Structure 1
Amino acid sequence: MDFHTTQRNKRKGILGEVHGLGKKILKHLCTEVIERLAVKSGFCKRRSKLDALSFLKLVLFDPLSTEQPSLEQHCISLEEDRGKRVCKQAVNRRFNDRAVVFIQTLFEHYLQNQFLSKKLSSGFSDRFSSIRLMDSTEFKLPKDLAADFPGFKGAGTESCTQIQFEYDILSGKIIDLSLGDARIADSAYAQPLLVNVQRKDLIIRDLGYSKIDSFKEVESRGAYYISRLNPNITLYERRGKDLVPLSYKTILQRLKGSTKKYLEMPVYLGGDANYEVRLTANRLTPEAVERRLRKKIYRKNKKPETYSYLKEMNLFITNVPKKMLSANEIYGLYRVRWQIELIFKTWKSVLKIDQVRKMKADRFRCYLLGRLLWVVLNWEICSVFNAYLNQSESILVSFYKCFTIIKQRVRSLEYILLHRKAKLKEWLLTLFDIISRFGIKEHRRGRAAVINLLALNGK
């Protein structure tokens, strides 16, 4: 079978998914929806040259084709693309609190109506209904924004903002994507979101979300979790009828004295030792310990002796029974969590979400919400292609490459959404051709492939 025949067959296979995706995009980013939400938010009260559609173009497309556009560049763009002559003072006035509400309302509307494609065919699908990854990323802002986006004490961190992100890696569904206060702990932010946890969900989160009350809440909902062990949590083990403290020194000694790769045992958490969990531990290689030290993961702190032991081990706690998930699978699934770090890297490297020039707070909020809307739009496209290629060819899409390829075509997509909506389906099919050839995830030497960690290839 030659190359062109293969590509035609791929197109036929993806046709139904592309049709559904294109229909959804046009339904929820159509002129009627945009204008209705603009009126509802108070952004449009009377006729204006800078109407809702033109303003959306400024915050959704201009920052992608021109990095950190000035007000003058917005004016030029409006005249060239929309035939509207507007002065920069008029553009600046439109960046107000009502504009923020409008863009946020549109973003939330689009997020709530996600297009869900087929799930990835994982070997874990029969055990878990979803595998939910959550983390946050924060970045510095110009100090002039400190009143609206307060940061921390110290040079260069007077103003910061944070984005919280949670998604199901199997279905591609975004569970949470929102702006947060950089000063609020991740665990405090995530606790209220546990009301959305469903039976048989698997929650995988970093240390910042580690909290005994959260673990109990997840378990009470018939769901599961895997977490790194917070070093500030006190451990106990049962010896006969008594519960006695379990030190990290003891765990490391047992690992060194064992011929097995993993140490597994039931432990009890917290000062009152009333919550039992499954602990799995494995010892790191000297090279891995050295990498940890170079990254300064274990800095000097109030418990230097504790960290002298922890730097040599991985410690995980979970409520998943041993018969349901082996220690090796726990370790592998937790390693999948670095996918979310790659997503943040994509946002910063491709969308330049962390590069902010001096501007008023409302303008920055509009830009940031516009970027998040763009993230969701890109995410849906990548997820649809990813699920299809995984099922048909046992390969995965690189979201970094996918976002980059779509960004290179931002002007053509802008023109289609604003002027030639009937061409969207063909645009998506052409994009699929390109991504199926140039947007595939490559296996990096020395790093386990996600397709293997999630058992996506049936192995």
Structure 2
Amino acid sequence: MKKYLDKFKSFFEDSFDTDSLNKLARSHQFVQRKSVLDGKRFLELLLFSERDTKLQSLEDIALDFSQYYGTHISKQAIQERFNDSAVHFLSSVLQQQLGHKATAILNAENAYRFDKILIKDSTRFKLPQKFSEDFKGHGGFGVDSQISIQFEYDLIAGGVADLNITPANRNDQKDSKETLDRIEPNCLYIRDLAYVSQEYIDRIGQNHSYYVNRLNTRWTVLDTDKKPLDYSKIQEKLDKKGFRWIEIDVLIEKGKKLLPSRLILEQVSEKTYRERITKAERAARSKGYSLSDDYRAKTRLNMIITNIPKEWANSEQVRKAYSLRWQIELIFKTWKSQMKLNRVKPVKIQRFKCQLIAKMIWIMINRRFLSAIEYLSEKGEKPIKLSEWKFFKTVMRLSNEIRKAVFYSENLETWLQNLFETAKKKCRAETKKGKNNHLEILNIFLA
């Protein structure tokens, strides 16, 4: 374990070196002369200030600075430092965090079938009306300003593949189209349906990679004889045979091109079906049309497509792989409940951006801790799965200790070891009876 702790110690020392941070700040004209609030102190101040920025005032920030550094600074001086240069400086620090190869020390010993398992989704929340020029909403009554955070991470080693803060009117489909060139070979991509297009799955195949996602019911899907699927007959077969799910080899139309795929169809509960059909009927009535038998048959099914070879994973294992996508929902829930991302008040736009970026830097730092602890625990006899929510709650309580360890290298190695032991004891995820956690799915299905 010591060699990994030493590497993480070196990573944090390099990332938050005073001279490096101030040099970066000067490159963005954030620090033009000697100032009590240099680049490092500005970053540190935002990282460790009050999490709920809706309750935080400029006076609170000034008081925190004076108490920690023993130097007075006025709230007006702090207000002036929230400018475009500060936003660019913090954005560069965040990009350095995202681009750092610290997770390579984990990936180096990866024995899984895939180099990475990349899960992507977005979270949105409403902003004050005064931010509408910078962050437009995606429409709808009463929603004028809204933000979207696109997030993609590697489930194996915890590395972040994409983190992008955009207006909410840049939807997931547009993000998918604009990031096709980032698809890497020998990776497994698991995404929400909103990101999935025929072009997306085609590009994955071209790049010798793999996908698991839901089927878009609007697509034309053919059987191996190039005839359209009859979902009503499939439903009848499931009922007659008493099967819970069935797998079919299919061809997905993309213009004149046919994309081979495995289609796994699973019957939903009667309750889920009634909820779906009631919603669909209501929408149909409002638009003046009726639902077809084919659509009704589709509504009774969960449909998952994949290009993972059958010899690598059977139908049940593919279904479990898709369930890994829900890990990212837990992450977003933690961001909002622990980091208070969606608690925003109408302040200067640069101040809002700085505080949000600082929170994302804090999240990236602590996700590295979490990933390292999970990885290192796998070297023992009993691999553990940490609860993201419990872990962030713990590190929030240890904020001052993290501040000293990361920014001032005070007993950093000892602190990392203590955090490792504390997390193992206090932050374990609870596994429901009969359910596999994501580490078990990785070890059983993907190895």
If the length of structure 1 is used for normalisation, what is the TM-score?
A: 0.88
Task: Check if 1:230 corresponds to 2:216.
Answer: yes
- 1:6 corresponds in structure 2 to none
The corresponding residue for 1:32 is: 19
Deviation string, structure 1 residues 310-333 (Cα, Å, up to 9, x no partner): 332110111122222211111010
Q: Which residue of 2 aligns with 1:7?
A: none
**Equivalent residue, structure 2, for 1:408:** 397
Q: What CA distance in whole angstroms lies between the structure 2 residues aligned with 1:293 and 1:442?
A: 34
2:140 paired with 1:154: yes
Query: How many residues are matched?
Result: 439
Give the distance between the partners of 1:292 and 1:432, measured in 2 at CA. 44
CA separation of 1:269 and 1:161: change in aligned 2, threshold 3 A: same
Partner in structure 1 of residue 432 of structure 2 = 444
Q: Of 80, 90, 101, which residue of structure 1 is paired with 2:88?
A: 101
**Given the alignment of the two structures, is residue 455 of structure 1 paired with residue 439 of structure 2, yes or no?**
no
Counterpart Cα distance in 1 of 2:126 and 2:443: 38
1:453 is displaced (CA, Å) by 2.3
Would the alpha carbon gap of residues 298 and 29 (structure 1) be closer, same or farther in structure 2, given more than 3 Å must change? farther
Native 8 Å contact 2:24 2:89 kept in 1:
yes
Cα distance in 1 between the residues matched to 2:275 and 2:108: 32
Distance 1:65 1:152 in 2: 25
Aligned partner of 2:6: which letter? H
Change over 3 Å in CA distance of 1:404–1:67 after alignment to 2: farther
Change (3 A) 1:179 1:380: same
Partner deviation per Cα, 1:258-296 (whole Å, 9 max, x = no partner)? 3443322222223646222221111123355467689x6
- Partner Cα separation in structure 2 for residue 297 and residue 135 of structure 1: 24
Equivalent residue runs for 1:10-409 within 5 Å = 14-64=1-51, 68-116=55-103, 117-119=105-107, 125-239=111-225, 243-270=226-253, 272=256, 274-289=258-273, 300-301=283-284, 304-305=291-292, 307-392=295-380, 393-409=382-398
CA distance in 2 between counterparts of 1:62 and 1:48 reads 20
Q: Deviations over 1:104-135 (max 9, x none)?
A: 0011112211422435999xx55322211111
Deviation at 1:411, TM superposition (A): 1.8
Q: 1:309 to 1:457 in 2, by over 3 A?
A: closer
Unaligned runs of 5+ in 1: 1-13
What RMSD, in angstroms, separates the aligned Cα atoms of the two structures? 2.6
> Quick check: 2:53–2:344 contact (8 Å CA) kept in 1?
no
Q: 1:414 to 1:170 in 2, by over 3 A?
A: same
Instruction: Note closer, same or farther for the CA distance 1:256–1:120 as it changes in structure 2 (3 Å cut).
Output: farther
Shift of 1:304: 4.0
Inter-CA distance 128–373: structure 2 relative to 1 (3 Å threshold): same
Q: Deviations over 1:410-438 (max 9, x none)?
A: 122223444x4132222222211211100
- The 1:339/1:284 distance shift into structure 2, 3 A limit, reads same
Tell me, in whole angstroms, the C-alpha distance in 1 between the residues paired with 2:74 and 2:192. Answer: 48
Question: Which shows bigger deviation, 87-96 or 266-275?
Answer: 266-275
Q: Secondary structure at 1:325's aligned position in 2? A: coil
SS of residue paired to 1:365: helix
- Alpha-carbon contact 2:249-2:261 (below 8 Å) kept: yes
Q: What's the CA shift for 1:170?
A: 1.0
Give the letter aligned to residue 58 of structure 2.
L
Alpha carbons of structure 1 residues 388 and 39: separation in structure 2 relative to 1, 3 Å:
same
Q: Structure 1's 244 and 293: CA in aligned 2 closer, same or farther, altered over 3 A?
A: closer
Q: Where does structure 2 lack aligned partners over 5 or more consecutive residues? A: none
Which range moves more in the overlay, 99-108 or 348-357?
348-357
CA drift at 1:343: 0.7
What SS is found at the alignment partner of 1:79? helix
The alpha-carbon distance between structure 1 residues 434 and 120, as it changes in their structure 2 partners (threshold 3 A), is farther
Amino acid in the other structure paired with 1:395 = I
Match of 2:412 in 1: 424
- Is the 1:138–1:163 Cα contact (8 Å) retained in structure 2? yes
Letter in 2 for 1:103: L
Cα distance in 2 for residues equivalent to 1:299 and 1:82: 61
Instruction: State the SS of the aligned residue for 1:63.
Output: coil
Paired with 2:400 and 2:36, the residues of 1 have a C-alpha distance of 21
Q: Is the 8 A contact 1:64 1:407 kept in 2?
A: no
TM-score (norm 2): 0.90
